[in-house]
């Protein structure tokens, strides 16, 4: 990272921009929330999908692959037929839950105002 990229959202090397590119989807934040709520326990793929209404198997798989590649989620496979796949947050992933929880709190407090502004703009 160059010194000029720090805090510069217009620079592709900006850490904030890079993070938002990786975690800025609803499925990512939902997966982190479900895994954080599970605590140190692991969650199987099918359980994750059940706890995330609307997510397709493919989208959940892509999301978990990305989180695993970024070191936020650990994946464990039991060599059974069919294989049982378990996921849990890493320490790094658990540290992400705090800022995501703050974002959820902000959204709960401010989305009504945003919705009102949108409705007024349509009128």
Q: Which of 1-5, 9-13, 34-38 has the highest mean pLDDT?
A: 34-38
Q: In degrees to the nearest 10, what's the CA dihedral of 98, 100, 105, 110?
A: 150
Model confidence over 35-66: pLDDT tens digits? Answer: 999 989 999 999 999 999 999 999 999 999 99
Would you place residue 6 in the very low, low, confident or very high pLDDT band (cuts 50, 70, 90)?
low
How many CA atoms within 13 Å lie on the side-chain side of 61? 4
Model confidence over 15-36: pLDDT tens digits? Answer: 888 888 888 889 999 999 999 9
Find the distance separating the first CA and the last CA of the chain, reported in whole Å: 46
Model confidence over 77-122: pLDDT tens digits? Answer: 999 999 999 999 999 999 999 999 998 999 999 999 999 999 999 8
For residue 5, what are its two tokens? 């990229």
């Amino acid at each position: 990272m160059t010194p000029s990229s720090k805090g510069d959202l217009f620079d592709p090397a900006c850490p904030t921009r890079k993070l938002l590119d990786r975690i800025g989807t609803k499925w990512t934040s939902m997966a982190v929330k479900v895994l954080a709520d599970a605590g140190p326990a692991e969650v199987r793929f099918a359980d994750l999908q059940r706890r995330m209404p609307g997510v397709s198997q493919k989208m959940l798989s892509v999301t978990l692959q990305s989180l695993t590649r970024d070191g936020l989620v650990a994946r464990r496979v039991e060599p059974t037929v069919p294989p049982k796949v378990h996921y849990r947050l890493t320490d790094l992933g658990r540290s992400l839950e705090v800022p995501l929880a703050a974002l959820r709190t902000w959204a709960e407090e401010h989305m009504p105002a945003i919705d009102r502004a949108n409705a007024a703009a349509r009128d």
